[in-house]
């Protein structure tokens, strides 16, 4: 029976790999990449939208929507005209990845009842004080916040190759 359970978990992991995690929307991932690009050029110049789109492989129309949203939040400044483009309005050292994800998603929590700033009761669920899933998701939210609020847009992050992805993950016990 235990062997069958492990086989089922392996199947779930393979399915997750095929379908992606879905935790961060494509819009949020694009926003992070655009902000990283702007951080790389902070204090140097206005960065044209076309440069960001090409370098980060983001559709220009979608990038326009994302940068407009970030401009409304005051994180990005835009300049119109022939030499127009975008730049960070806040130093990258003052922007955490947690901040950025909260701006784009509204919360770091995976479920609404575990959100610190956008809390909502879950529909069709147990009372919050009886829900073990919520207790777990609160721990996940806190660990996620601790990590993402500790990494700033100015911090160097090295890309990780496919062969390194599993290296950081804990290995299952036999």
- Centre a 10 Å sphere on the Cβ of residue 156 and count the other Cβ atoms it contains: 4
Residue in the structure block whose two tokens are 């993402």 = 148
Do residue 84 and residue 122 come from a single domain?
no
Supply the mean pLDDT for the chain: 83
Confidence of residue 94 (pLDDT cuts 50, 70, 90): very high
Handedness of CA 19, 24, 30, 32 (dihedral sign): negative
Do residue 39 and residue 91 come from a single domain?
yes
Q: Kindly state whether residue 30 falls inside one of the protein's structural domains.
A: yes
Per-residue confidence (pLDDT) for residue 118, from 0 to 100:
75
Q: How far apart are CA 56 and CA 60, in angstroms?
A: 10
Distance, CA of 79 to chain centre? 26
Give the residue numbers spanning the domain of 56. Answer: 23-95
Q: What CATH number is associated with residue 87?
A: 1.10.10.10
Q: Token pair of 115, please? A: 């959100």
The tally of domains found in the chain comes to 2
Q: Kindly state whether residue 34 falls inside one of the protein's structural domains.
A: yes
Confidence of residue 171 (pLDDT cuts 50, 70, 90): very low
Per-residue pLDDT reduced to its tens digit, 148-159: 999 999 999 988
Do residue 89 and residue 106 come from a single domain?
no
Q: Kindly state whether residue 15 falls inside one of the protein's structural domains.
A: no
Q: Kindly state whether residue 174 falls inside one of the protein's structural domains.
A: no
DSSP track, 5-44: HHHHHHHHHHHHHHH---SS-HHHHHHHHHHHHHHHTTTT
Q: Does residue 158 contact residue 151 with C-beta atoms inside 8 Å?
A: no
Q: Which pTM value belongs to this model?
A: 0.77
* Per-residue pLDDT at 16 exceeds 50: no
Q: How far apart are CA 65 and CA 76, in angstroms?
A: 12
Q: Kindly state whether residue 109 falls inside one of the protein's structural domains.
A: yes
DSSP track, 59-105: -HHHHHHHHHHHHHTTSEEEE-STT-EEEESS-GGG-BHHHHHHHHH
Boundary of a domain, candidates 55, 77, 95: 95
């Amino acid at each position: 029976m235990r062997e069958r359970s492990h086989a089922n978990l392996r199947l779930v992991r393979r399915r997750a790999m095929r379908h992606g995690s879905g935790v961060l929307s494509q819009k949020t991932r694009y926003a992070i990449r655009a902000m990283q690009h702007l951080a790389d050029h902070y204090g140097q110049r206005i960065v044209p939208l076309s440069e960001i789109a090409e370098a980060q492989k983001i559709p220009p129309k979608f990038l326009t929507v994302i940068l407009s949203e970030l401009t409304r939040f005051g994180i990005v400044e835009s300049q119109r005209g022939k030499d127009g483009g975008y730049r960070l309005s806040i130093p990258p050292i003052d922007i955490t990845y947690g901040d950025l994800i909260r701006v784009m998603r509204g919360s770091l929590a995976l479920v609404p009842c575990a959100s610190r700033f956008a809390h909502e009761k879950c529909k069709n669920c147990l009372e919050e004080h009886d829900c073990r899933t919520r207790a777990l998701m609160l721990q996940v939210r806190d660990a996620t916040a601790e990590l993402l609020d500790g990494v700033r847009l100015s911090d160097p992050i090295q890309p990780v190759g496919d062969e390194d992805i599993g290296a950081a993950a804990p290995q299952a016990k036999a």
